[in-house]
Every structure is written in structure tokens, then in C-alpha cells.
Structure 1
Amino acid sequence: MTAASIPAASGDGYAGYLHDKTVVPERGDYYLGRDGLPAESPGRWLDEADALARVGLAPGAVAPDDLRALMAGHRPGQPSEFLRTAGPDGTRAAGIDVTFSAPKSVSVAWAMSAPAQRAEIEQAHHAAVQRAVSHLGETVELTARWDPDAGASVPARAAHLHAAEFMHTTARGVGDAAPDPQLHSHVVITSVERDDGRVAAVRSRPVMRAAREGGAMYRAQLAHELRQLGYGVEPAGEDGRYFRLAGVQPEVEQAFSKRTAEVQQAARAFRAEHGRAPERGELRALAVRTRAAKAPQSRPELDASWRATAAENGLVRDQAVELRAAGRPAALPVGDSAAAVVRPATLPVAGVWAAAVEREATASRAVFTDSELRTVALEQAAGHGLDPDVALAGAHRLVEDGRVLELADGRMTTAAVREAEQTISDELAAMAADPARVIGADAREAGIAAVERRIGAELSAEQRHAIDTVTAPGRAAVLIGPAGTGKGVVIDAAAHAEQAAGREVYGVAVAGRTAQRLGESAPSLNGRVKTIDGFINAVERGRLPLDGRTTVYVDEAGMGDTDRLHRLTELVSERGGSLVAIGDGRQLSAIGAGGMFDRIAADLPSAELRKVHRANDPAERDAWEALRNGDAREALRFYEQRGAVQLADTREQAIEGAAQAYDRLATEHGSTNVALMSDASNVEIDHLNLRVQALRRQRDELGRDQVEHPDGHPLHSGDRVIWTRPMPVKEGARVENGQRGEIVGLDGDGIAVRLDGGDRTVTLAADRLDAVRLGYATHVVREQGATVRQSVVVTGGWQTSRETAYVEATRATDGVQWHIGRDDLDGEHDTGRLDQLADRMALSRAQEPSLSVELHDPLRLPDDPRDAFRVERFQPPAPDLAPTVRRELEIER
């Protein structure tokens, strides 16, 4: 599900867009009729008859003028009678376009089916859209009501939605190209009816925030409807959030998306060369150049084209594939023809589905909302064979059974995550209180002396205190190291001291490249660093010793997710080892459920480094501190005064400005000394990388020979690349995720890369090129822990936060440039836009452990001293579940 607001000024045109007949010059078609002639794309109203009647409508097909009237805010046929009031600017928003799109395998099945089966698939799609829209109305506060107690309007659910559905069966054709089959519906929500009977505008932001849940309900219901028709359904996607029809193999899906991919690739190459996206006419020209054959001009020709594409990819059965038969997919020449149908409504809550829900609910954070629980339950329902109603009831059952716990602030966590957090906290506290680790004063001084000789300077009193703390007798300690404070020398001295005392030391981190950086900044650990997963595996297999004379240094522990820290803590604790956690809770958090670093830092012996050594300008150090503390306005004033804030009219122009700035700085200082970062998506990273590559190619800095990357762009000698996953090497250590290097040669269809930081060169065969991507630009997450001379940053969007801004600002010794698009920020003037940017840079998105919130207690009394000891599992009853609610209270007095 996707959602987009329709501005008031666009309402009339958008209604026409949905209703108009296919235009012959755009052959191919988006709205082509089944008989091959230009045809209407009729819509239908989704609300109940009595609700429609109250605004002057009848159920059934949507008349264009009626839709235009509701979008304009007045009663159909009576333009002077407005149904809803105007906004502060005197206009009435036209509504919201919510689009539901079927999985590609479903669209392929539709395209290859006979008319009767097409109609059945379309009806299944209609039913899923209807259910998703109803769910949206039931769960999202789409309007507002006056609350006399609060003296203000408060969000509220709507009694009815005024919505029209327009179903289309093909993707939009590009230029003269044939469209791919793509079953989807546009649902235009023009307004809502409140509980008091009044008509009001739709609150757009809640709809957009509910897009994931709405899409999950649509897919769950669609999968259920298709199973009822006899189709086999199986999970799809790495996390099982999606589904595909059994019997339609991925290569067939890709074949029916190939045309779109070709045009997208051509557009991407255009953008790399010109620094902007192609305009409509230019995109049409690109489409013509990439076209392989004459486009079909009628529905019969389009059907024939689809059958030919399917045949080229092995999907053939008398030119019309029947994917369902007796409750299982038909025998097909492609893939496994005997894939079993997933039967609905029979999977027990305690089974695979429930485990998947628990896992995915905490895949990104330790705490989640009831909406997120419903979303994950529905997402896992589609591929696991559950009716959406059964999935929603199962989600309530997980709470009732204590596998999902309610927190006092209304959010939730899982019992597994809560237990893991508690284990980390308890084990480390016990280790800290155990004086088994003994490092004498002589060993400590020997470690300090070794580091002072290496750096040619004396350590500060602050650094000496930190060394004393992390080498104290307890078996657990914490070093808090803000950006640029020189934690490497502290760790190096502490590890030297451990070794001088006859102990073993290892350094670990979540990411391999982070572990490597630890070894580089603390040479006493060099060659003794691993990822957390690699270290655990090596110890459990007996390849590394871990006992009472071993200390493990965990770098960037704030980025450690709860599961990894739990496994590592238990392993070190049970083997009698010691653990030193190093990090900074003000920098980026774990990708998965996390947030434990600040908690253990508060409970364990800890030292914090404060003096910044990285920034050469003392005033910039103050700006870093301001960003770290959430005073982004003060920091932005500094960067504005230095001319380091570059505002462009659009995000696209900001990307171009950043690419140009990086290119100039990299030419002057060398690519390894300049960082180019974004806090947005991988798509933006790709745009930046391809643009910098094009600028270098235009200056003949890259080799003329090239190999094609699996993503469709070339790689040349001289290009910089970065590994996106670990890569084993036959002779020598593996190349870690995040390692960078320069292509120094092309070897047949492969490449040879000289790794940064040494003379080592590795080769990648053509079938392994997907292990790397262009490495000029990276996401900010990859740069945490890096030090360069200068940085260039694209930021300002919704992803911007206190943590990303702080990490972006603090990578460089000699300053950072901020590139921001005005269209990412609200306001008529730059002053207001920068105020909003400061607000975003001050907003913390740090991970939070569930332990920071008490468990919910429905029997809580004010000031009851027993509250802190109550452990409770409670959930209000869901529809169709047992009427009684189980409450299991364990009260320790």
C-alpha cells in the first residue's frame, strides 16, 4: 500500500486521470479494454449505501462528476452546498490516493489466465482492497473531534469513509513500450463522516503512517482469497513479509518486470551523466532507444506479447497456464511443479507463524506498538497460511499467553527480548562485582608507557583515569568514548596492560570493518579482532581460548543488538572471562532491537572521555558537543557562519551539489581522505556513486575497459568500491563487510581490487561482483568509527536525527559540508527551514531497551510500593476470543 495526498488544485485533473479513456497515441495500455478497444476504467464506491446516500450518492459505479464533486468538497449536483469546511488557506484538499498493488506473481497468473479465471483473480483483489480499506477505517484516526475537557480538537476514528476504487491491470507504459501486467487499484478517499454525522477532510499523515499495516492486511486477505480458489501460496522476501504464488518462479516475475527495469536503468545512466533526472520528453526518448520490439496496440496483441514473454521463460501450457488444480499448482516446466498449497486457518499459534511474529516484531526495535504487532501478524499470515482474522486473534493470544508483554506506557515487547535484556544486565552486574581480574600497577604503567612511545606524547589525566577504570579488578567495565576523543589509545594501553599481566585480549564488534578499525587504532589488538558472531563461533568450536585470563573488548557496543550482546555476555560470563564495553549512546544505535549500552553504562564501573582530539578547530569541537547534546540550532549557526550549509531548491539539486563538492575535495586531498555520506536510502547512495563515477569518467580518470556490475552499471579501473558483505578469500583473511578499495585491473569479466590501508590485492570473478558496490558514497551507518580529513553530507529529510547528524559532523578533522534540499523542509523562508532542520537534528531516534519501561499492571494503585515487583501478562479480549481475560500476577513482597 502506498498513499499520496491529492492537493485541492489537482482534484479535477486527477478525477479525469482516473476516468479518461485510453488515448490512442499512448498505445499499449494502462486502461485498455478487454476487447482491445479504448475503454472506460469505471470505479466503484466502497462505502455502505446509507452513508453514500447522506452525501447524495448511490452504490455502484462512480460517475466522473460525482467524484469531482466530492473531491471539491460539495454535494454532487449541488455545487453551492459544501459538505465540509475549508481549511485555513480557504481551500479543500481533494483527498488521498491509496494504491494497493498485487505481488508480481499474482499479476503474472492473471495475465496468463483465461477470462473466467481473470475475473476470479480480480474479484479476490477487490475483496482484499475492500478489507484493507475497512481495516484502515477501523484502526486509524482519520478525522478529529472537539474534546471539551481538553479544549481542543483530538484525533478520532471516522464512522464512514467516502472512497472510490479504480482497478487497473497493467503498469503504466513508458513511451511506446508495452506495459507489464500489474493488477492494482487506486482508492481515492475524498472525505469521511464523523460520529456526529458531519463530513470532514481526511487526515493524511495517519494514512501514510498506516501504509505498512494497510498493505499487510491487503496481502493477507488476497492470499486468503487465492487459497480459497485453489492457488498455492508461499512466503517471499528475506523476512517473509510478502508472498508469491507457487509455480511462478522468480525468473518469470523478473521477465515481466524487465521492460520497466530497462527504462529505469537508462534513466539512472542519464542522471549520472547529467546530474538530474530526465524530463518527460527525455524519458520518452530513452524508452524508444531501449525498445526491443514494436509495442502491441490492442488487448489481443498485448495478451499475445505476454504469452510470448512467458514462453521465452519456460512458462507454457497450451499458451494459457492454469496455476491452480485440485488445491495445488499445476505441473509447469519451470521449477518445482509439486509445491504444496499452504492451507488456511489451521496453523497453531504456538507454531512457526507465532515464532516469526515474535522475531519480526522486534526485528528493528525492542519495543513496539499494538499497530506494529498487528502489522507483523498480518505480514506473516500471508505466506504461512493464516486467515487474517485468525492472525489478528493469534496476536491477542500471544499477549494473553505472556509471549508478548504490555508495557506501562502502552507499548509492547516480547518475553524473549525482555529476558535477554535482563540477562545482560544481571550477568554484567555480577561480573563487575567479581574481583577475579587482577592487573597490577606495574602492568598498567607498562601499557601506558608502550602507547606513549608509539604516539610520541604523554597520555592525559583523563585518559589515565579511563585506563585505571577499564583495568580495575572487576570482570566488567564500560568506556564511553564520544566521537574524536581518542578512545583508541586508551584501549591500546589497557590491552597492553592486560598482556603485560599475562592475559589474553580480543577485540570484537558487530561489523567486520569496525573490528578492523579497532585493531588499527589499538595495535595491541591487531590480528586479534573479529566480529561478535565470528568470535562466538570460534570459541564454541574450540578454535579460540576463553577463560578466566581472557578479556574481550567490545567496540561500538552501542550498535550491538540485544541478541548478539546476550549471546556474547552469557558466553564470557560462563567461561569466567572479562568484558569491556566501549561506545557512545549518543551515536548510532543497533540496526535490530538494542539500546542496552546506556543502561549497562549506568550500572557498571565506567569512565567517559570528554576532550575531543579529532577536530582541528576548537570552535567546531563546540559545535560537535552542541549536536551531541541536542542543541542543533547552536551548531547550525556555527556551520552557517562558516559557509558550510548549502541549501538547494530540491533534494535532487542537493545531491548534485554534494557530488560536485566531493569530487573537488577528493581530487585535492585523495578519495580516502574525504567522506561522502547520506542518511537516506540506498537509491540515493547509488545516485551519488554513479554521479561521482561519471564526473571522473568525463575527466578520463577511469580506464576505458569496463565490466558490468549486476546492478546494470559499469565498473572501470580506478573506480572505488566497497564490500557489502563479507567475502572469503582462498589465501588470506576474508574481506570484511565495509572494506573499501580501488579497482586496479580487469581480469576477464572480473576485477582486481587493492584494499585500502595496505598493499593487499584481491580478485573478484564476474559471478561475485554483487559482493561490492561503488564506494564513493556510503550511508552514515557505515562511517561510524571512521576518521577522514573532510566530509560532505546530504541530509535534511525525515530520516535526519540527533544521532545521524552527530556522526555525520564528527568524521572529519577539517570540517563538514551540509547539503540540504529546501523541498525536504517546510517554510516559506530559509530561516524557518533551518529551524525545522535544527528540530530534526535535535530529535533522538536512539534505541530504547524494554527494561527502561515497567511492565503494565491493570491493577496498579497510585503510589503502591509493590508496583515495582509486579510481573503481569494482560490483554483486553479480542473479538471471537474467550470472553474472560487471563491475568497472571506474580507479586513478590
Structure 2
Amino acid sequence: MSGGRAVTVSLRAMSAGDGYRYLTASVAVADGPRDRSLPLAEYYAKTGTPPGRWLGGGLAALGLEPGDVVTEDQMARLLGAGRDPVTGDALGQAFPQYKRREERVGARVASLDGGLGTEQRASAVQRIEQEEASRPTRRAVAGFDLTFSAPKSVSVWWALAPPEVRERIVAAHHAAIGDVVELMEREVAATRAGRAGVVQLDVDGLIATAFDHYDSRTGDPQLHTHVVIANKVCTTSDGKWRSLDSRPVHHALVALSERYNAALADRLSADLGVQWEQRTRGADRNPAWEIAGVPDELVKAFSSRSRSIDTETDRLVADYRATHGVGPTPAIVIKLRQQATLATRPGKTQHPLAELTSRWADRARSLLGFDPAWLRPPTGSPEVIEELPAEAVEGYALVVLDHVSEKRSTWTRWNLHAEATRQTMHLRFATPHARNHAIEQLVEAAERASLRVTPPETAVPAELQRPDGTGRLRPKHATRYTSHALLAAEDRLLDRGRTASPRLANQPVVASGSGLSQDQLAAVAGIATSGRQLDLLIGPAGAGKTTTLAALRQTWEHTHGAGSVIGLAPSAAAAQVLADDLGIATENTAKWTHEHLHGRRRFRPGQLVIVDEASLASTRTLDLITGHAEQRRAKVLLVGDPHQLGAVGAGGALGLLARDRPDHPRLTQIHRFHHHWERHATQRLRDGDPAVIDTYREHGRIHDGATDHMLEQAYLAWRNDLVDGHTSVLIAADNDQVTTLNRRARLDRQANGDVSAQLGVPLRDGTAASAGDWILTRRNRRTLQASDGRWVRNGDRWTVTATHTDGSLTAHRPDQPAATVRIPADYAARHVDLGYAITVHRAQGSTVDTAHTIATPAMTREQLYVALTRGRSANHVYTATDQPTAEPHLGPAATPGDAVLARILSRHGAARSAHEVIADEQARWNTAAQLAAEHEAIGATQSQASDATTRALRQRSRLLEQHGDKALRSAIEQQPWIRHLNPPPTDPERRRTWWAHARAIATYRDRHRITDHTPLGQDPGNKSHPDRREAVRALRVLQRRDAGRRRRPTPTQIARTPSGPTM
């Protein structure tokens, strides 16, 4: 049974110093004594939240017990200074202290050459200040805040239930958190030791604090708990205090979230008998599990303050109409909205829970029409299970593997763990142990059915092995897997891309005066004459792919006849654009796949099948399309850009094919942008060059500040462009921002009289639409046709012309007023949004005059590249520097705008194929740096004389020598540093010695990624490190002769060295 993903556990790093104070500031009784058995109800009448409590198995080392009250002083010692919360003693190394920006600037200015002139010095100081302003100030990490938020129906029920039921809900919430913490201590918590933290060690549990909070930043009920895990752990093997290895925490986060949901459901069902059901959450979100019987309208009413504002505004408008007999003017609507905003604004001060629950009860009573204190979800005796039957384990494991492989090309144990929990969410287990055991069974079965892509470990001595036999030189659960089926699909795609057939080779025919650029002409000719069954057309944004395809269609049809070119695209909207641009029959890939599997779609011999936006197509889909084309003797052309957005499911095929065939047809000249500088800048943006940020800033395209200010600035710039007659797109970072901007645009257009002030039709996103509004349909509905004969597609834009009392609305296409459609009420309420702002995924493929994008740190390089290449005349980015969170008490951590953009450019979001991940995994675990760190860690063990240790050291020594030989050969061929060495001696034995010393230098360079032209590069400040000392000694040996008389070695001389490349 498929389960929906609703991530209810979030992760945030907490800075040392006063980073913890957002938790203690709201506590009602911070340092007073409290009995651990004191119920939460004791704090209902107090202003603020309950004190924190201690959690975790690591408390024993500190003399604390789970459930003890956390005091302000203890938080200051542990999370503020990294010390023992009770005694104040040091817990290992102190938190590092990083220089503030002013200190960094001062130090660099002080080191400037004293001989600089006044203007030169001023210029240097300005450059330093600019560079440092773009760098975020580093802060030591004191801990990690895992926030556990109950599902919305649970929070609503808790808010409205009688006190005794509230207590039982909170108890289940706390117990579910405890289950997750135990899972973390068993499978996640670890520390690192050795060079670069190469050895992962077990720890004696976690040290954590838990703070309960009641409401969201909008004042809605939201039962949630901040569990702050200290970045201090005690190592089991030697008792030393070290930092927590945070990598596994990040990797396991989704699985931990799923486990919390399941554990909470089990406990609430066992204690209160509740039933659970899946509920849809819109087109772009998976279903969520909620308590059956808690009305959806009640959940939605408590889910967004903006919805509350809309509801209150509509009520005020209705009252105005009833009082005055006519609807309010646009100006009065503005005033009514302002009144609604004030009426629904949550207070800035803390309130007793008793006061909050009273308010929530009043809101619920007005909505439901009865006293919510008597609200009871249906109860019963849900069936519980102790253990899954063996046949059920195998069945569930196959479903788990199928779902995971559909979503991603490779996966880890934690991906399987999360999916296994989702697939069993409908089952109620008798105990936490029973669920743990079942999930472990499913994960292990799914692992057995997967194909391991991470290379096996080389020999590891027993001292560096875990009890299960795995080596501590690899992080626990770090192995990556794929499936035989997916790898085979990629192999078939590669084979088809390499296969040519004379019957698919044409003579290019391009009409004279076509206006094509040289790269476009070459692409048309290359595709038409290659004879390949599977061909590519790769080009950056704005390179004229549509123009090229139009010429290709002409060429292909000249040989194969009219109608011999057809098109496919991952979305119905993109397929329609392709049809309009090329005048060919098109379909979306999902529909084609469905029809083909039912025998209703077949290609014809000689057809050219153009798959547009191919980076968005999954590997499975492309394999099916190209496989059928191969059988039918048709040709497939994949069109797109691997540097733009990738597939939602397992993808990366377009990039794999492009890299496998370096001579693939490509477009290089960019035509879209009016400004020449922007044509070059977008190429650098595509490649992730952070220096391009300066170029955009120099041309006034970058704006940065607080999120609210950036939303305002982007909106105003977009609106002004529209007023000036430009086509423009407003791109938001996420759906919440889209909704915020949509509401703002609707309100402004109502004030201007462009949108009716009459009561609107409710839409999917919680907004409403009236005559004059722009809307976006979000689901394909082939039975819903407009007057132009075209059906309603996901992604279509419309302008509302009328709303109707039954909740339906009439709209027309923006560029075709005569193309109207009547959209039913159920479709409008479930699949229609306001259409002013969009996400970057909806922006891909569009071209406008100007584009205005709000950027946040969560974006990827591909998203930023797509967003900043939509506008012909201008593309502006508005960078949020405050990194807002969902909590008002989490203070903003300001980051310079350029640093945010640089971070975005460093984050790849494109899907990678299984073949590429295999290559990456092979390289990752066999780098010189990794092998050297492993060699050092093994050499430091106490069993140095054992056969296993000797064997492990020899293996890594051989591998390091191979790395050094390879690096030295590369240096001989193309790196200038080799010219700084003495020439190799003529004596064979001395030549072998020369090669060994030169290899030591090459290995050092490879290990530390040195690219300097001098042999050892800049002094890293760690001269005492063994490999640095070895490299220095080797260099001295190879530079012993007098510098004035030394002859540099030539490649020919080196090539004759016995241990060199000719051996």
C-alpha cells in the first residue's frame, strides 16, 4: 500500500554562543524545580512554554537522567560553550573561534604592501572589503535542532480536545520522539577520528534537550518539539569527547521523519483507538496520513493565516453587501482586507495555552457549528500485528524497491528505510520493537534485491571493524545501490546512441535564406545524416533549439513525407508548445506510455520522434520510447540541456548520453538575450562559475535583503514591467511564496479595478478567483474542452471572465479571448491556482521580456540557471539573505547575498545516472587522500604486527604508488612543475630512485589537490605532517645540484626512466 511523504521532522544547525536562547526565551518556568511526572496541563495557565527536558543515552556520563529539567545555565554551558552542563568542565576540544568580518578585513589590510600608492591602496582595501562582504561569517556548530511536528490533524485534535485527551496525545508525541532518538542512537549516532575523520567510531548515546511548543508563527495550533542534539559525544572505545558526525543525521533525516509518523500513529491508535486515512494535498504533493474524522475544512482553517485573512475578508465583504445592498468598491475592499489582517494577526507576546485553546475553540465552533470540545475522531480497536509473515516481507520488499527505483537512479539504506516505513504506514504494530523488526526485514530484503554500486572495502584489520564485520573506514549505511533493471535500461540507451543505420540517414535540405547560424546548420546536417537510432540536440538556454527543429522537420519530411515528424514532451503543456512551434502532432510522455502499453500507440518506420525537454524525462520512459522506435525502425531525437532541471523520477539519461558521445550535435551560439554580456554570462552561470556573480551585480541584476523585502521588490518590479507593456514572469522559490505573491497581485488588481471585488470562487491553493483574475490549471482533463477544441492542460494559463454561484468559473486563454471554457467547481477547488507567480519548474521552457526571481539558499544551480535565462531584455534575482524558518523564535542568520548565490551555484540538483554514480563511487573511495588517510589510521592501530594489519597496509601502499605513478605520468605530459626537478640520472638504479622521489611529490600534489606550478605549492602551514615532510625530503633530493647549473628534465628524458611510462 503506497504511503504519502509528509516530512514532519526538520533539521537546523545551531550556532555556539547564544544560539540556544530562542528556546529558553519562551519558557514559562525556566529554572524552577519541577517533578518529572508533572503533567503538561500544569503549564496551561502559565504564560509561555514548559521547560525543556533532557533526553538521550549519553546523559549518564554527565550525571543527568532522561526527563530532568533543563536550566538556562545548563544550556549556556553545553550549547553556548561546549562544556559539561553540570560542572562546566571541558568536553574535549573547545568550540573553534572564527574571526568576524571586520577582523578579517583588518588583518588583510594590515598585510598590504607598504609601498602601495594612495590610489592603489584604496583600490586594494575596497576589493578586500567587497570580497569579505560576500563571505558568510563562520560560526561553530553547537548542536542540531530536530523539530518534530505532529501531523496537522493531530495538532487540531489536540488543540480542541478535553485536557485529559490532550495529555494522552502529548504523551504519544513524546514517546514517538523517544522511539526516533533510540533509532538514532542505534543506527545514526557516531563520531570521527583520524586524518580527515576517516575512522567512524561508536558513541555512548546522544545528549539532547527537548522543548515543547504549541503554535505556529501564524498562531495556528501546531504541536511540535525542538529536540536539540548536542555536538558533543563520548566515544565508546577510548572515552574521549568528540564532535558528532553530522553526515549520517542529514542522510537519515527523511527516514527519521517517516519513523516518527509511524510511531505516533501506532501509539495514538493503541491508546485512543483512532483510525488513519490518506488525504490528497494537491497536484505537486504526495498524500498525507491524517486522523480519520478530523474534518479537512477544520484542518485547512488552522493551516494558514493567509486563509484566515481571506475568510475574514470574504465575511466582511458579505456583511458590507448585506448592509449597503451593493458590493464594496475596490478601495473599500482594500480597507476591509486591512481590517481582516489586523483581526487575524497573532500576537507578538507569549500567551497561556489555556488562552490559545479558547481562541482555537471559538474559531472551530464558528466553522463547525457545534462545540469542538466534544470533537471525537471515530474510535475502535484497530488490528495490530506482531510480525510480518515471510511471504509478506518479500512482497513488501519488492514494492519498496520498485518505488525507490522509480524515484532515483541510486539509493542508500536510508532511502529504503524511509520507503519501507511509508509502505507499512497503514499497518498498526503492537510494539515499537515489532515495527523496528519489520522495517529491518524489509530493508534487508530490498538490499539483497538491489545491485551494489559502491566498491567493496579493501582489507580492514579487526580493530577497525564493527561488530557486524563492516569497516569503520566507511560511514555506516553509506553503501549505494541501483537495480539491474535500471542499469540495463541505461546500457540499452547507450547502445542505441552508438548504433547507426543507413536507412535513417538523409541528405540535409535546408531552404536558402533560412537564417540559421552555423551551429544550427551543422546540427541539422549532423542529425539528418548520422543514421543513429538515438540522437541528441543539446543547447543552452536561448540557443535557438526551436528554430533548429523547424529546419530539421523540413529536412526530414523532404525524404520521409509529411507527418513523418512527431513530438513528445514530459508535460502536456510542453507538448502543446512543441506542437504550436513546429506544426506537428505531439503528446506528453506519460499519456503516450499508457497508450502504448495498451497497444494503442505505435511509431511508423522512418518517423523522427522528437522528445523535447528530455532532461525532464525519466530513464525508464526514454528506454521504453527508444526501444519501441528501434523495433519500428524509427529515429528518436532527445532535445534539451542536462544543465537545466532534471526528471522527478530516476533520471540523468540525457547527461549520460551527452557525455558518452562528445561529438553530439550541439548549439553554441546564444540568440535570446538583447545584451551581449548576458549571452556570455549565462554560459558561465550554466557552468557554475561563482565569479559570474560580480558580472550580474555590475549590471544591476542582483538585489539582496530580507525575504519579505525581496518578495516586495520582485513583485513591484514585475508589476511595473507589466504596466510598461512588457511580458514578464515572477518566479518564486517555493509554493508558499507563490501563494503569497498571488494573493498580493490579486489584491492590487482588485484595488485597480482589474479584478472584480465580488466574492470569489475558492481555489486549490486556498485563494479565490474573481472575474479578471489570472489562473493556472494544474491537472490534465481531456474531457474538459475549450471552445477552440483544445482540452484543459496542466500548466495552461487563463483569464477569468465570470464566476458562478455553484463555484464554477468561465475563463479564456490569455491570447485568445474567444477560446473560453467553463471550469466546474470541483476542478476549480482541487486543481486551479492563481496564475501570477510561478515556480522555476513551471518557468522552464518559457521566454518573456523580463524575469524576476526570488532566490533562497535551498535553490540549486540548475534552478538558478533556468530562472536567470527566461528574459530577453532583463533577468533580475532577489536574494533572500535571512534564511527564514517556519518558527518566529528562530532568529534569522544573515548571510551576504553573494555568498548565498555562490552556495547555490555550488549545489548540483540534476539527477545523475547509475553509470555516473558508479564511476563517482569508484573514484570517491580510491582517491589518494582517502587511501593515505586509511593507511595512517591502520598504521596507528595497536595491532600493527598482525598479518591482517600488514596486508591492509601493503594494499593501500600499492594503491598509493599506482596513484603516484598515474599523477607523475600526467605531470610529465602537461604539468609545468615537473620542470623544477633535476633531470633523471642515466644509471638505471638511480633512475628508479629518481622516479620514486618524483612519485612522492606527485602523490602529495594529488592528495592535496595542488595545482600550483611549483612542485609543492603554497605552504599549507602543516610542515610537520608526515606526507608533507616526505614530499619536502623528496624535493630536496631532486634539487640538490646548484640551481645555476641545473638542467631541467625534458619529457623525453623522463620517458626513458625505467619506472616511467614506458615500462
TM range (shorter): 0.7 to 0.9
1:342 and 1:384 in contact (8 A); partners too? yes
Q: 1:510 aligns with which of 570, 575, 579?
A: 570
Question: In the alignment, does 2:537 pair up with 1:493?
Answer: no
Question: In the alignment, does 2:535 pair up with 1:468?
Answer: no
Q: 1:390 aligns with which of 437, 456, 462?
A: 437
In the alignment, what sits opposite 1:886?
none
Change (3 A) 1:574 1:303: same
1:630 and 1:842 in contact (8 A); partners too? yes
Change (3 A) 1:243 1:701: closer
Of all paired residues, the percent bearing the same amino acid is 23
Summarize the alignment of residues 644-683 of structure 1 with structure 2, pairs less than 5 Å apart.
644-647=701-704, 649-670=705-726, 673-678=727-732, 680-683=733-736
Of the structure 1 ranges 260-269 and 409-418, higher mean CA displacement relative to structure 2 is found in 260-269
Partners in 2 of 1:117 and 1:363 — Cα distance? 41
Summarize the alignment of residues 745-824 of structure 1 with structure 2, pairs less than 5 Å apart.
745-748=802-805, 749-759=807-817, 760-769=819-828, 770-801=830-861, 803-824=862-883
Partners in 2 of 1:408 and 1:314 — Cα distance? 62
1:45 and 1:164 in contact (8 A); partners too? yes
Residue identity in the other structure for 1:475: Q
Partners in 1 of 2:355 and 2:582 — Cα distance? 69
Q: 2:910 aligns with which of 815, 822, 846?
A: 846
1:507 and 1:519 in contact (8 A); partners too? yes
Paired residue secondary structure (1:553): strand
Change (3 A) 1:751 1:94: same
Of the structure 1 ranges 385-394 and 37-46, higher mean CA displacement relative to structure 2 is found in 37-46
Change (3 A) 1:344 1:700: farther
Q: Could you say which structure has the larger radius of gyration?
A: 2
Partners in 2 of 1:211 and 1:75 — Cα distance? 27
Change (3 A) 1:839 1:862: closer
Partners in 2 of 1:464 and 1:841 — Cα distance? 32
Question: In the alignment, does 2:475 pair up with 1:407?
Answer: no
Q: 1:458 aligns with which of 492, 515, 518?
A: 515
Residue identity in the other structure for 1:660: L
Question: In the alignment, does 2:603 pair up with 1:549?
Answer: no
Change (3 A) 1:664 1:132: same
Summarize the alignment of residues 728-747 of structure 1 with structure 2, pairs less than 5 Å apart.
728=782, 729-730=784-785, 732-747=789-804
2:644 and 2:865 in contact (8 A); partners too? yes
**What is the deviation of 1:264?**
5.2
Residue identity in the other structure for 1:480: I
Q: 1:236 aligns with which of 268, 271, 278?
A: 278
Of the structure 1 ranges 105-114 and 653-662, higher mean CA displacement relative to structure 2 is found in 105-114
Summarize the alignment of residues 539-578 of structure 1 with structure 2, pairs less than 5 Å apart.
539=596, 545-578=602-635
Partners in 2 of 1:289 and 1:166 — Cα distance? 21
**What is the deviation of 1:543?**
5.4
1:158 and 1:192 in contact (8 A); partners too? no
In the alignment, what sits opposite 1:623?
681
In the alignment, what sits opposite 1:379?
422
Paired residue secondary structure (1:656): helix
1:723 and 1:771 in contact (8 A); partners too? yes
Change (3 A) 1:377 1:696: same
2:610 and 2:638 in contact (8 A); partners too? yes
1:423-449 deviation line (CA, Å, top 9, x unaligned): 64256247x33333354x3xx42xx22
Partners in 2 of 1:522 and 1:636 — Cα distance? 36
Change (3 A) 1:811 1:103: closer
**TM-score with structure 1 length normalisation?**
0.77
**What is the deviation of 1:65?**
5.7
Instruction: Report the aligned-residue RMSD.
Output: 4.5
Summarize the alignment of residues 418-497 of structure 1 with structure 2, pairs less than 5 Å apart.
418-419=486-487, 421-422=489-490, 424-425=492-493, 428-429=496-497, 432-437=499-504, 439=506, 441=507, 444-445=508-509, 448-449=510-511, 457-472=514-529, 473-497=531-555
Residue identity in the other structure for 2:54: W
Change (3 A) 1:429 1:282: same
1:583-605 deviation line (CA, Å, top 9, x unaligned): 11122111221000122234568
1:528-575 deviation line (CA, Å, top 9, x unaligned): 111112233445556555221322111111111122222222332333
1:558 and 1:597 in contact (8 A); partners too? yes
Partners in 1 of 2:751 and 2:286 — Cα distance? 43
Q: 1:213 aligns with which of 237, 243, 255?
A: 255
Of the structure 1 ranges 75-84 and 419-428, higher mean CA displacement relative to structure 2 is found in 75-84
Change (3 A) 1:146 1:612: same
**What is the deviation of 1:132?**
0.6
2:189 and 2:206 in contact (8 A); partners too? no
Change (3 A) 1:286 1:139: farther
Partners in 2 of 1:216 and 1:45 — Cα distance? 23
Residue identity in the other structure for 1:639: Y
Question: In the alignment, does 2:643 pair up with 1:598?
Answer: no
Change (3 A) 1:438 1:758: farther
2:156 and 2:299 in contact (8 A); partners too? yes
In the alignment, what sits opposite 2:938?
none
Summarize the alignment of residues 11-410 of structure 1 with structure 2, pairs less than 5 Å apart.
11=20, 14-15=23-24, 17-20=26-29, 32-33=41-42, 41=50, 44-48=53-57, 51-62=58-69, 64=71, 67-68=74-75, 70-73=78-81, 75=84, 78=87, 85-88=94-97, 95-106=143-154, 122-140=170-188, 145-147=192-194, 149-150=195-196, 158-166=203-211, 171=215, 180=221, 184-190=224-230, 192-195=232-235, 196-199=238-241, 207=249, 210-226=252-268, 231=273, 234=276, 236=278, 243-245=289-291, 248-249=292-293, 251=295, 254-255=297-298, 258-261=301-304, 265-266=308-309, 285-287=342-344, 319=374, 321=376, 323-325=378-380, 327-328=381-382, 341=383, 343-346=385-388, 348=391, 353-385=396-428, 387-403=434-450, 405-408=452-455
**What is the deviation of 1:625?**
1.6
Paired residue secondary structure (1:9): coil
Partners in 1 of 2:785 and 2:340 — Cα distance? 45
**TM-score with structure 2 length normalisation?**
0.66
**What is the deviation of 1:501?**
2.6
Structure 1 residue runs without a partner (length 5+): 23-29, 275-280, 329-340, 864-893
Of the structure 1 ranges 355-364 and 528-537, higher mean CA displacement relative to structure 2 is found in 355-364
Partners in 2 of 1:861 and 1:664 — Cα distance? 53
**Aligned positions, number:** 794
Change (3 A) 1:541 1:758: farther
Partners in 2 of 1:84 and 1:67 — Cα distance? 18
Partners in 2 of 1:219 and 1:861 — Cα distance? 35
Paired residue secondary structure (1:161): coil
Partners in 2 of 1:3 and 1:768 — Cα distance? 36
Partners in 1 of 2:537 and 2:448 — Cα distance? 40
In the alignment, what sits opposite 2:459?
none
**What is the deviation of 1:698?**
3.3
Residue identity in the other structure for 1:373: L
1:240 and 1:379 in contact (8 A); partners too? no
1:811-846 deviation line (CA, Å, top 9, x unaligned): 22212112112334999999x642552342244322
Partners in 1 of 2:484 and 2:168 — Cα distance? 43
2:453 and 2:918 in contact (8 A); partners too? no
